[in-house]
Every structure is written in structure tokens, then in C-alpha cells.
Amino acid sequence: MLTAHSADPRPAVAAPPPEPRRPRRRRLSALWPYLLVAPTVVGTAFLLLYPLARNIVMSFQHFGLGELIRGGATWVGFANYRTVLEDPEFWTVVRRTLWWTGLNVVLIMVLGTLVSLMLNKLGRRMRFAVMSGLVLTWATPVIAATTIFQWLFQSRFGVVNWLLVKLGFDSYRDYAWFAHGDATFAILVTLVVWQSVPFAALTLYGGLTTIPVELYESARIDGAGAWQTFRLVTFPMLRSLFALVTSLEVIWCLKCFAQIWVISQGGPNGATTTLPVYAFQIAQSLHKYDLGSAVSTLTVLILLGALVFNLRRMFRQEGREENAL
């Protein structure tokens, strides 16, 4: 029998050792990925955020050629914005820009969707050939592609005029495409669509490969045709991807500048002047950098409004679908 003074036969439990401090090397390893991307983040912020902030500040100042040389810009508040918004030419350019953006985006999305569906149906070798052509088209530099289109539609030695004359359209002999506003506008639309369809087609094709084949087999058994299959299976499954590609194409088309400036510089008679070209003309040709900055800021606001409208509609549709389920 154990007494009060007898020893406890159970071994004494040692206290847990204190938790060692996290090694310094481990902390550095955790920070290493952030240190690697820090230069890129800082460089991107400097190249994007600083010009945007400087542009906004300049839009509230009186900033002409004199202020550019000697400095000392004065603060004028919203006077530049009032001058721009009261100018009828600005609203003409806004309407033309919206028409330009809408036409290009619709054509790009329709053609890109058709090409992606075609890729999904092609055999392996033919698909590789078509995708190679799309990648090469997408990789062509903007200025190089624009120069090629200038050669194609050249009045005397252009391939397009030569081909049309060979087909019996003698009225196009020595036809000056770039002297007519509608013709120049159509050429620029063709150029931008040609450059943009590969991105949309390849992105949508990547989405098509993720759709289960069983869904198409079920639709085929139910007697659905090609249009019904796309409307009831393909588009609902890729709704978010369609919205994303559409948003990216809106950004790409609305901010197009190099193609328009190289081919027509906004002409003839302002027929191809969009907001980016209009802002550049005011700033560089008239040396009114304050008004050009105001136009640029308004362009960004219009673009943000279009993107917010598109994304809100996408999220609302997804919410309705989730509630229906």
C-alpha cells in the first residue's frame, strides 16, 4: 500500500520544450517570391500609374507649349473639361468612336466564334495548320501589318485594284481608296478585325476543349441542331469567357491609334478620327496639352463605363443562373 510519503511510481512528464523561433532563412524563403516580382510590379506601376496621374493633373491646368518649355502651369479647375464638352466636334468624335468600337467588336466576336468552332471540328493536321496561320497573323507587328495594307490598297500598283479590274470592275482602275472617308474607314476596320480575330478564336477554342463531350451527345440525341447546340450548350458553358474576350476587344478597339494614324492620321476630312487620334491631334498639332489630357481622361472614363456595364451584365446573368439552379 502506498502511503502519503511514498514515491509516485509514474514517470514524471517533462515540460514541452519552448517552440524554437522561426529560422531567418525560412522567413527569407517566404519573402523570396515577392522580391522576385517586386521589380516588375514597381516598373509597371511607374509606367502605367504615373502617366495616368500626370495626365489627370495636367487636365486641370493651363498647359500649353510655353508651360512645356518654361514650366509654371497654373491651375484652372474644370475649365478644360467644360471647353471640351461644349465643343460639338468632340461629340461627333465620340459617336464615331462608339460606332468604330461596336462594329469592330461585333465582327471580331462573330468571326472569332466561327473560327473557334471550325477549329473544334477540324482534324489534327488541318487544325495545326490553321492555328499556325492564326498565331503568325497575331504575331505580326502592328506597323508592319498596317504597311502591308497600305500596299494592298495602293491606287496604281495595289493588288486589290488589280484584282478588281481583272474581275471586270473597271471603275476601280487607279481607285484612290484613302481619298474617300468611307473606304478608308472600311480598310481600317478590315485591318483591325484581321489582327484581332486570332486572339479571340484561339481563346474561345481553348474554352471549347473544356466542355464535356457528353453534353453535345445529349443535345444531339434530343434532336438539337447546330444553332440550338451553340445557344443551349456552348454559349452558357463559356459565358464568362465570352464576356472576358469581349471586354478585352472593347479595350483593344477603342484605344486603337497606330493603325489609324499611320494610314490616314484621322482623315480624310476627319472620317477616321477617333478619341485617341483626336486627343493626339489637339496635344501635338495644336500644342494644347491641357485639352488633350482632358480628352484622354474622358476617353478612359468612357472605356471604364463600357467595361463596368459589360461585367455587371455578366455577373447578373450568372446570378440568375445560380438562383435558377
Residue with the three cell numbers 493626339: 280
Question: How far is the C-alpha of 140 from the C-alpha of 131, rounded, in Å?
Answer: 14
- List 75's β-bridge partners, or say none: 61
Q: Cell 447546330 belongs to which residue?
A: 226
Q: How far apart are CA 93 and CA 100, in angstroms?
A: 10
Rounded to whole angstroms, the Cα distance separating 131 from 126 reads 8
Q: Is pLDDT above 50 for 84?
A: yes
What is the spatial distance between Cα 5 and Cα 1, in angstroms, rounded to a whole number?
11
Is 289 exposed, middle or buried, given 0-12, 13-18 or 19+ CB atoms closer than 10 A? Answer: buried
Amino acid identity, position 114 = L
If DSSP codes are grouped into helix, strand and coil, which group holds residue 73? coil
Are the C-beta atoms of 191 and 149 separated by less than 8 Å? yes
- pLDDT above 70: residue 320: no
Spatial separation of the C-alpha atoms in residues 255 and 258, rounded to whole Å = 9
Range with lowest mean pLDDT among 83-87, 208-212, 271-275, 320-324: 320-324
What residue spans of the chain are helical by DSSP H?
24-44, 50-59, 65-70, 79-85, 88-121, 124-139, 142-152, 159-166, 181-208, 213-221, 226-229, 235-237, 239-254, 258-263, 275-280, 289-324
User: Crossing angle of helices 181-208/124-139, nearest 10°?
Assistant: 130
Tens of pLDDT, residue by residue over 138-167, are 999 999 999 999 999 998 889 999 999 999
pLDDT value of residue 271: 92
Peptide bond before 16: cis, by omega within 30 degrees of 0? Answer: no
Quick one: pLDDT at residue 11? Answer: 55
Rounded-to-integer distance, Cα 161 and Cα 170, Å: 9
Predicted TM-score of the model (pTM): 0.82
pLDDT in tens, 251-300: 999 999 999 999 999 989 889 999 999 999 998 888 899 999 999 999 99
In order of 62, 65, 121, the CA distances from 70 in angstroms are 13, 9, 64
Return d(Cα 283, Cα 174) in angstroms, integer. 36
Q: How many C-beta atoms lie closer than 10 Å to residue 250's C-beta? A: 20
What is residue 62's three-state secondary structure?
strand
Encode burial over 168-207: b for 16+ CB neighbours within 10 A, e otherwise: eeeebeebebbeeeebbbebbbebbbbbbbbbbbbbbbeb
CA–CA distances in Å: residue 3 to residues 6, 11, 13, 311: 5, 18, 22, 80
Instruction: Report the SS3 class of residue 230.
Output: helix
Which domains can be identified in the chain, with CATH numbers? 74-324 (1.10.3720.10)
Q: For the segment 85-125, what is each residue's pLDDT rounded down to a tens digit?
A: 999 999 999 999 999 999 999 999 999 999 999 999 888 89
Cα 193 to Cα 205: distance, rounded to the nearest angstrom: 18
Q: Taking each helix axis as running N to C, give the angle between helix 124-139 and helix 88-121, from 0 to 180 degrees, rounded to the nearest 10.
A: 160
